[in-house]
Structure 1
Amino acid sequence: MRPVDKKIRRITLCLMLFGLWAFPAVSGAQTQMVPVNFSQLAEQAKPGVVNIQTVKTIKGGGRVFRHFFGSPFGNQPGLEDFFSPFEGLPRNRTESSLGSGFIIDKAGYIVTNNHVIKDADQIKVILHNDQEYDARIIGADPVTDLALIKIDAKELKPLKFGSSKNAQVGSWVVAIGSPFGLEQTVTAGIVSAKGRIIGSGPYDDFIQTDASINPGNSGGPLLNMYGEVVGINTAIVKSGQGIGFAIPSDLATSVIDQLKDGKRVSRGWLGVSIQDVSQEMSEYYNLDPNQGVYVAKAYEDHPAYEAGVRQGDVIISVEGVKINSSRDLTMTIANLGVGSKVNIEVVRQGKNKTFTVKLGERPDSIEDSALGEELDGFDDLGFMFKPLDKDLAEQLGYPPSIKGLVVIQIDPGSQAALSGVIAGDLLVEINHKRIAGISDYTGILRAIKKGQTAHMLFRRGNSQVFVVRFER
């Protein structure tokens, strides 16, 4: 080899080692860019990302009114007179908010978060070239915090969805949006984790990323290195730097397709009350650790019961897919079409049985399901309750005359999980109102508006009483 050739090889090697030279990595039919920089990806994706501005009327002044015209020091003695001149200001105020979104087709459909456009009186979309359009809401799904809006515009450049299933932990991702109102901002990071539960609802399945996501990024795309949308940026942890969450694209696309077709989002429904299988239950039923979901109750005249599933069964698979937790079962059934016939495998008295269940439609809220006095799944605070009966009272050491709701399970990562309440505690009052059954609980909570406080009185055993405070 000539000296000149050796010199060129050494220079090339140094450039590659220090990240100054990037070669494309080929994967199948696609070419992935090595992330020396993200300028090419950002340049291609930016035309598909939009800024969303909304105006809504806030009754009672809202968060902004309280922030600017209420005492910033709380209810401190001696400060009332200083802030009292503002008490006569109008109670109803308009509030502007910012968010992001992305175009999914040339017809003008745009995906964003439901909380970005919820209750908006006016929605304005600003494209990358500063053109502005009024948008209308096509549909929304508060459960997954997704919304679909539409503008009448031409020559749009939509983004394509990729599969969040293929987004591996440790892989590079890019977030584009309008943090703090700064349009078309690009941040990069990696997929930190998948399947995160943050207590936002029964379908938590978030992608965690350290790509910076800040207020205003909500609804914007999380892109892989092919420029495909693998997530919708949704939430941040206020106390944690570099911790953001995105809705997986595989969950979002089925919801968006239904909204685009003008349909109300529907989800599969078994009609069972479930709980995770404890270690003791695994040993009792001779199951593998963390295998299966226990059927606490199968409701009569609902799909699972009609197919033959009964209380005490342990569901271990759906259509051959293993079920390891209540969340697994909830997500799997929800993603199957209403009316689908699915094979449910259970363990009953040590033997495996398979039932074919024709799925119903999950009700919008548990109380609408007419299932009687038991909650199916976690509520929005993260509790799963069951009314206290004679047998439970005897097992847990409560007086036979007392009434209330027993905590049978708590959703990890929820408000309930941070409260100190544990399974077996008994809820007896909310804001000095007695709780005798599920209907009392749901009715009282429904009457507590956002921003107000729920003081919950619990008993633990036959002696300890304590109060837990929740902000709605």
Structure 2
Amino acid sequence: MFKNFVNSIWFFLLLTTAAYAQLPDFTEMVKNNGDAVVNISTTQNAPDTTQLDSEQQMPQDVPPELEDFFRRYFQGPEGRGYVPRETNSLGSGFVISKDGYILTNHHVVNNASEIIVKLKDRRELVAKLVGSDESTDVALIKVEANDLPVVTIGSPEQLQVGEWVLAIGTPFGFEQSVTAGIVSAKGRSLPDGNYVPFIQTDVAINPGNSGGPLFNMHGQVVGINSQIYSRSGGYMGLSFAIPIDVAMNVAEQIKTKGKVSRGWLGVQIQDVTRQLAESFGMDRPHGALVAKVIPGGPAEKAGIQIGDIIVDFNGHVIETSGELPPLVGMFGVNENASIKIIRQGDKEDLNVKIGLLPPQASNNLAPSAAPEFAVNRLNLAVSDLTEEQRQQLQVEKNGVLVQKVNKGIAMDAGIQPGDVILRVQNSPIKNAADFNKIIANLPLKKSIAMLIQRNGSPVFIAFKIDK
């Protein structure tokens, strides 16, 4: 019996040793790359000041030794009635050139009046902001130094889901903190990152890690740690990094041109749902559905139409709509790209000359009330658009305004009062009478695609008429 016990112990030790041998060893990677990771502290002087109520006065009978304190608090340093505010923040960064260029996040250095870079050897250097890009959350700063340790740049395209990655940064001010995990997903699209195909990891990232590097197992930087998903403000297993090729492209443009230029296709797109795929005659949902074509833009000139589904951009297969904007944004302005689309069930090849992304404008104007409307088969009330409403909603032609949505198919599909219905399937809607006629002739139990405009943005929805 004792012999069996000893054998069991040996077997357990062998399994433990084998499992330990399969775990990665990060020690050499940290030794070789830690020197190039820096701590960044910034100071922001808030321009707005806290004004005091005119009736707020310094307390009476203040002891002489506290008079100066209360005078400053209640009247400001010169009796002007304000309290100046100064805020500090911490972040991370990494050196990409021996002469002092450093990459970090835009939000780490945004509105900073002073940027201090602390190296691993305890040197503290004042940095200047070369430039930053809010859309990608990338910033380039520089310190006056020579022969600095630098990181090696890797390729995010070769990164595999499930691969080990490592982060070095300054979470909560704890310098040179190392955390590790795996790549959870690639090409993630986030609401505030239209031009970034984020790398998702389960590496522990916390406030202060922002701007720090994400390394692969070869000791190469593949991303900049940028965001976390959290309900508490701390790490919850969902961390997102900007691919280093996106960041280096931004940095190079900042260095050479002083600004960032992005490619522009001139469309508004959305994902293809199962019902929309059925309505467009597709065997499965994929691609980017064109909901709007900007007049005079590159897409219109290339022949792209509303309802087209972009499934390939210059050799890159498009599975979801979020994959397209980063590819277009990084594509060369005034260069030609090949595009594959699905139009009414047929595949077509187009060539488009990519334009320069113009300044974006938003429109949240609500339509004014229209007195007359007609009820149609979908159990909703629509009316013709007045000229004033067209100007407010930026609807040049066609379309009807949804006035009321009753319980039924339209409500279940998500149509709301104030929406503008632009087309049903491939038929543009000219007016309310035209809309009711088209709805009356729709087939039963078949997915129907409807293009609506809501708060200035077009979107396709799908519904079925069962009876």
Instruction: Give the TM-score, by structure 1 length.
Output: 0.67
- 1:18 match: 17
Work out whether residues 15 and 21 of structure 1, in 8 Å CA contact, stay in contact via their aligned partners in 2.
no
TM-aligned CA deviation for residue 423 of structure 1: 4.6
- 2:266 match: 271
Equivalent-residue separation in structure 2 for 1:293 and 1:54 (angstroms): 41
Unaligned segments of structure 2, at least 5 residues: 1-9, 51-71, 77-81, 395-411, 420-452, 458-467
Determine if the alignment matches structure 1 residue 307 to structure 2 residue 302: yes
- 1:342 match: 337
SS of corresponding position for 2:289: strand
Work out whether residues 168 and 178 of structure 2, in 8 Å CA contact, stay in contact via their aligned partners in 1.
yes
Q: How does 1:418-433 map to 2 (within 5 A)?
A: 423-426=414-417
- 1:57 match: 45
1:162 to 1:393, Cα distance in 2 relative to 1, 3 A: farther
Work out whether residues 99 and 147 of structure 2, in 8 Å CA contact, stay in contact via their aligned partners in 1.
no
SS of corresponding position for 1:251: helix
SS of corresponding position for 2:140: strand
Work out whether residues 299 and 305 of structure 1, in 8 Å CA contact, stay in contact via their aligned partners in 2.
yes
Aligned partner of 1:195: which letter? G
TM-aligned CA deviation for residue 293 of structure 1: 2.5
Identity of aligned residues (%): 40
TM-aligned CA deviation for residue 142 of structure 1: 0.3
TM-aligned CA deviation for residue 424 of structure 1: 2.7
Q: How many residues align?
A: 363
Unaligned segments of structure 1, at least 5 residues: 1-10, 23-33, 63-84, 368-372, 376-384, 407-420, 429-437, 443-472
Which of 90, 106, 120 aligns to 1:114? It is 106
Work out whether residues 55 and 120 of structure 1, in 8 Å CA contact, stay in contact via their aligned partners in 2.
yes
SS of corresponding position for 1:280: helix
- 1:199 match: 191
1:273 to 1:210, Cα distance in 2 relative to 1, 3 A: closer
Q: How does 1:401-420 map to 2 (within 5 A)?
A: none
Determine if the alignment matches structure 1 residue 47 to structure 2 residue 35: yes
Equivalent-residue separation in structure 1 for 2:374 and 2:44 (angstroms): 48
Larger radius of gyration: 2
1:176 to 1:143, Cα distance in 2 relative to 1, 3 A: same
1:156 to 1:313, Cα distance in 2 relative to 1, 3 A: same
Determine if the alignment matches structure 1 residue 105 to structure 2 residue 97: yes
SS of corresponding position for 2:383: coil
Work out whether residues 162 and 183 of structure 2, in 8 Å CA contact, stay in contact via their aligned partners in 1.
yes
Determine if the alignment matches structure 1 residue 289 to structure 2 residue 284: yes
TM-aligned CA deviation for residue 339 of structure 1: 0.8
Determine if the alignment matches structure 1 residue 144 to structure 2 residue 143: no
TM-aligned CA deviation for residue 187 of structure 1: 1.3
Aligned partner of 2:117: which letter? V
SS of corresponding position for 1:273: strand
The Cα offsets for residues 192-251 of structure 1, whole Å up to 9 and x where unpaired, read as 222333422313422222222111111001111111111111112232623322112232
Equivalent-residue separation in structure 2 for 1:387 and 1:248 (angstroms): 45
Aligned partner of 1:55: which letter? T
- 2:245 match: 250
Which of 206, 210, 233 aligns to 2:202? It is 210
Determine if the alignment matches structure 1 residue 155 to structure 2 residue 155: no
RMSD of aligned alpha carbons: 3.8
Equivalent-residue separation in structure 1 for 2:31 and 2:374 (angstroms): 62
Q: How does 1:78-89 map to 2 (within 5 A)?
A: none
TM-aligned CA deviation for residue 140 of structure 1: 0.7
Equivalent-residue separation in structure 1 for 2:14 and 2:145 (angstroms): 45
TM-aligned CA deviation for residue 54 of structure 1: 0.5
Instruction: Give the TM-score, by structure 2 length.
Output: 0.68
Aligned partner of 1:331: which letter? P
SS of corresponding position for 2:257: coil
TM-aligned CA deviation for residue 363 of structure 1: 1.9
TM-aligned CA deviation for residue 59 of structure 1: 3.9
Which of 156, 178, 181 aligns to 1:164? It is 156
